[in-house]
Structure 1
């Protein structure tokens, strides 16, 4: 919801900026966000390797929520730019989400579905975010019956969509606290009171007939991944090995391999031109239309004019764009990757971007309004197809280029840093190019520059070799497997796993299995743990 503001051109103009300079300053607000994000991404990643993924994600969510609300009450261009920079600094932990997905899903055949969740969530946000931004901006003007006499909304016309966004952040923060499990290996066995509270809340809403059945399991482990020490075969607990608990800082040589560097470069180019497209498009749609005559039009390059849309119409277009992205992500992405492979899909996507960027400004030359909007939507759908498939493919390739799970936090921190530099330079460059193009009767200048950048960025993709993934070189994983084999013990993931294993034991061979069942039940009541040899 923080990536696209359909009301941004109007907000910048409300600060007293001339219309011809709106694109430049809109790009600047996006650039400072990404610059600050790039400066803090690696420290966020390092912190997640030391303190755990969950606390760092929650900290970033809380801080971003606070500055998101402050953005809505900005009263000057200087204030808006400073707040956007603070937003970016707090948003530098987005790479940790990719790290958690990689740590949870290590099977290559499941990676397309797992990594498609993040763009799918982005698509959902792209549906509701622009809609809320376009609909609820300037509520005193749009809904005078409700907000016309409100001093607050008359003074801060862009506060309401940000308040709605703050509520979404609060829901996300609460969900993370109550239900998100830690995936960092050295922190998995720490007690998580948030998960315990979440389990209690869940149990409170369960049907009564099932509570009696689960009474035996109520005092079992609260969350094996978060709080349980390993068990020896005799049922007594012992602490995990010190070597497995102490995180080791990865070396830079292990992080920056040849394939990792190539993947980072391609990911940076993708972030640069795709985000610049999303930032300059609202300005292009908001710019007044122009009647094209031989005096002001000299094809193929010299022409001007936009679509002349307000924030409400722009929000509607981006809502449709988000719905289309969600459909592509949910319906097309997994089967396409399964059939043609991640690398091949990524290569097709990077070839689509330059064509879209080159053609898009020519849509203003279409005289018929219906045909003009249809051409715009077709190009936006093609762009949605390329970006929704391209980003998760790039993320999967980057993850599989890592040699070990232990470097993923740092690697994704650098990925966020480099991509943020692209996100900063892209919108800033596109904003300056738009301003220059308006003054020189060349409205297509930013799009053609982005097309050239996309073409250059497609070259490294052809040097990528798809790796086997970080599981092969993960010392943490091998240590954990060998330790589990030596102990011949199973730490149950949650209460349901315990019940399933005890049920299996009940179906076994007579008295010996019944004795095992009884012992597991006693261990559950007394210690909260059970073992199966």
Structure 2
């Protein structure tokens, strides 16, 4: 194999660890979305007037997000100090118990306290995002990697509403109904969905405890008793499988047939990027300062993320309240304002008048469509257009969906209301599926280094949680205010206004460099090959981006290492992860003369990693179509950024 071929390093997703992380994550969207179908009915069961249901439902959702905002940064710091795995498992355990507390709530204050504790006890949104970034620091693999957790959310959002709609109030207890000697589910009619959710949390906690690897560099060398037990269980299962395989092989061989090959339940880790790090743990460095964390682009991305979380969460929370609200075509309840021939055409108040079962069914269909879009539509479109360009389009479409939604209540039949309303929901669904992973990638790549990424994602979690608190609180309050005065359009148009304001800073965003190098480094390897650079002793020397053509060659190795640790973008810092260890930045420097030595020597590729040919990324759902090199080097760029997205 030539030196150039040896210089190419195969980059693969750590599929096994991402799958384990996805199992841990699955219970959270399941629990979060399961309460939406029955939330309005549960609020009514606390003897709340119909016109006030929207306000209190919004407040319950807002308290969850507000407490999550207050604890987002502490959870991020906690994960930086004690490890990502510990923080994730604690968050899952807390959410499991608070879900049970919510399901067994017998009063509105108890329910609000349960939601508050659920928000304060879980910072996994930002922590899991950090884990994915540490597992997959390579820019060309990020669309695929960062689409996995939203895909998990969409799968959970399929089963969550189904569980909530089908299992809530199984005995049909009416609000205010007095029952002598009630059974468990007559006394706690909304406990069953949360008991089911708790079972999924238990599965996720057990899976994470036994099989999830720590990605924080300073904790990788620590003894993980959970993984030790998991490895023993895996070895035990594997030994039994091998014994069964051997017996089958002997029996089938005696009859002249081939033995069946059976794979173990959990295959040994083969992904190079996810291979355990056997090096001793590095000492913890001082926490980064605010100036290092909050770059201008990071601040702008956080502002965009805040607005996105605010109006999308307001829509998701308000939608079941709106669909359960009495229809203006089905009578004239006392607290419903019917349309008047002499009044403004915008003055009307009504919903779809649906029960929790049909709301759950609609939400399930919504989730299925969302999963298909996430799987088949998002990867190729983001691959072709870039994440920044997609985010700009989504920001422009959100206000249109919010503007149109209230007019579905004016349609003459309930079937027409549901059909048109679902079409508007799908418009918002497509935008949300594109916007969140795109924004996540932009935030991640705006970080100045990997060592600040945990804290930055903690801040992003808090900022988004503030938006998710403000959105439902504002939407629910405006909904109650509007329907009392006959203007159901009020909350929807308020959301449209917020979406317009949130779209403005999107057009000042720029795509960051990422942390794992780029496809451009393949070209640089080729340039090095043309200039006579060869691999020796199984190692290849890398070139730093900031290196100049006349860099002094007599610098000490320590000076070179210090310079490498100061690099931003493609070059990893000292806190690089196992998935990125040994990767060097080889940014192009076309101004160098042939044969000249470019920049300071930064890091060395390991013998193992220098053997394989590099593989391009295939986004989820794209089969065997690889990403072109030019796309990866311009990922997310638009006409307004450095380079056109059409240049591939």
TM-score bucket (shorter structure)? 0.7 to 0.9
Confirm whether residue 33 of structure 1 aligns to residue 33 of structure 2. no
- Displacement of 1:94: 1.8
Aligned to 2:440: 395
Alignment of 1:148-163 (within 5 A): 151-163=183-195
CA contact (8 A) 1:7 1:311 kept: yes
Aligned to 1:461: 506
Aligned to 1:234: none
- Displacement of 1:149: 8.7
CA distance change for structure 1 residues 183 and 306 in 2, over 3 Å: closer, same or farther? same
Q: How far apart, CA to CA, are the structure 2 residues paired with 1:294 and 1:429?
A: 25
Q: How far apart, CA to CA, are the structure 1 residues paired with 2:424 and 2:213?
A: 40
Aligned to 1:285: 323
- Displacement of 1:451: 0.4
- Offset from partner CA, 1:209-239 (integer Å, 9 cap, x none): 699999xxxxx99999797533xxxxxxxx4
Aligned to 2:32: 3
CA contact (8 A) 1:137 1:161 kept: yes
Aligned to 2:407: 362
Q: How far apart, CA to CA, are the structure 2 residues paired with 1:85 and 1:293?
A: 36
- Secondary structure in 2 matching 1:158: coil
- TM-score normalised by the chain length of structure 2: 0.69
* Correspondent of 2:573 among 475, 478, 489: 475
- Offset from partner CA, 1:389-426 (integer Å, 9 cap, x none): 11000000000111101111100000011110000010
- Displacement of 1:489: 6.8
Question: Can you give the 5+ residue segments of structure 1 that lack an aligned partner in the other structure?
Answer: 143-147, 215-219, 231-238, 492-533
Alignment of 1:67-106 (within 5 A): 67-106=98-137
- Secondary structure in 2 matching 1:126: helix
CA contact (8 A) 1:50 1:247 kept: no
Size of the aligned set, in residue pairs, is 471
CA contact (8 A) 1:196 1:223 kept: no
Alignment of 1:406-417 (within 5 A): 406-417=451-462
- Displacement of 1:193: 2.0
CA distance change for structure 1 residues 358 and 228 in 2, over 3 Å: closer, same or farther? closer
- Displacement of 1:203: 2.9
- Secondary structure in 2 matching 1:475: coil
- Displacement of 1:205: 2.8
- Displacement of 1:480: 5.8
Q: How far apart, CA to CA, are the structure 2 residues paired with 1:484 and 1:393?
A: 30
- Displacement of 1:295: 2.0
Aligned to 1:326: 371
Confirm whether residue 111 of structure 1 aligns to residue 173 of structure 2. no
CA distance change for structure 1 residues 249 and 208 in 2, over 3 Å: closer, same or farther? same
Q: How far apart, CA to CA, are the structure 2 residues paired with 1:249 and 1:111?
A: 26
- Secondary structure in 1 matching 2:171: helix
Aligned to 1:276: 314
CA contact (8 A) 2:302 2:460 kept: yes
- Displacement of 1:3: 3.3
- Offset from partner CA, 1:424-456 (integer Å, 9 cap, x none): 010000001100111110011100000000011
- Secondary structure in 1 matching 2:288: coil
CA contact (8 A) 1:401 1:470 kept: no
Confirm whether residue 229 of structure 1 aligns to residue 250 of structure 2. no
CA distance change for structure 1 residues 246 and 211 in 2, over 3 Å: closer, same or farther? farther
- Secondary structure in 2 matching 1:141: coil
CA contact (8 A) 1:403 1:474 kept: no
Aligned to 2:385: 340
- Offset from partner CA, 1:22-45 (integer Å, 9 cap, x none): 100001101111110001010000
- Secondary structure in 2 matching 1:245: coil
Q: How far apart, CA to CA, are the structure 2 residues paired with 1:121 and 1:297?
A: 50
- Offset from partner CA, 1:329-370 (integer Å, 9 cap, x none): 011111111100010011111111100000000001111333
- Displacement of 1:200: 2.4
- Displacement of 1:117: 0.9
Confirm whether residue 208 of structure 1 aligns to residue 239 of structure 2. no
CA distance change for structure 1 residues 396 and 294 in 2, over 3 Å: closer, same or farther? closer
Aligned to 1:444: 489
CA contact (8 A) 1:406 1:474 kept: no
- Displacement of 1:121: 0.9
Aligned to 2:463: 418
Aligned to 1:516: none
CA contact (8 A) 1:62 1:173 kept: yes
- Offset from partner CA, 1:256-293 (integer Å, 9 cap, x none): 11100110000010000001100011000000001397
CA distance change for structure 1 residues 199 and 298 in 2, over 3 Å: closer, same or farther? farther
- Offset from partner CA, 1:448-474 (integer Å, 9 cap, x none): 000000011000000001010144353
Q: How far apart, CA to CA, are the structure 1 residues paired with 2:450 and 2:286?
A: 12
Q: How far apart, CA to CA, are the structure 2 residues paired with 1:38 and 1:395?
A: 17
* Correspondent of 1:123 among 154, 173, 192: 154
Confirm whether residue 429 of structure 1 aligns to residue 474 of structure 2. yes
CA distance change for structure 1 residues 300 and 400 in 2, over 3 Å: closer, same or farther? farther
Give the number of the structure whose residues are more often helix, by fraction.
Answer: 1
CA contact (8 A) 2:323 2:359 kept: yes
- TM-score normalised by the chain length of structure 1: 0.83
CA contact (8 A) 2:304 2:502 kept: yes
Q: How far apart, CA to CA, are the structure 2 residues paired with 1:164 and 1:2?
A: 9
Q: How far apart, CA to CA, are the structure 2 residues paired with 1:486 and 1:370?
A: 64
CA contact (8 A) 1:405 1:474 kept: yes
CA distance change for structure 1 residues 465 and 138 in 2, over 3 Å: closer, same or farther? same
CA distance change for structure 1 residues 455 and 164 in 2, over 3 Å: closer, same or farther? same
CA contact (8 A) 2:338 2:348 kept: no
Confirm whether residue 267 of structure 1 aligns to residue 305 of structure 2. yes
- Secondary structure in 1 matching 2:488: coil
Q: How far apart, CA to CA, are the structure 2 residues paired with 1:326 and 1:295?
A: 42
CA distance change for structure 1 residues 422 and 41 in 2, over 3 Å: closer, same or farther? same
Question: Can you give the 5+ residue segments of structure 2 that lack an aligned partner in the other structure?
Answer: 1-29, 174-179, 247-260, 263-267, 330-336, 517-568, 585-600, 610-648
Aligned to 1:515: none
Q: What do you get for the CA RMSD once the two structures are aligned?
A: 2.8
Aligned to 1:192: 224
- Displacement of 1:170: 0.8
- Displacement of 1:383: 0.9
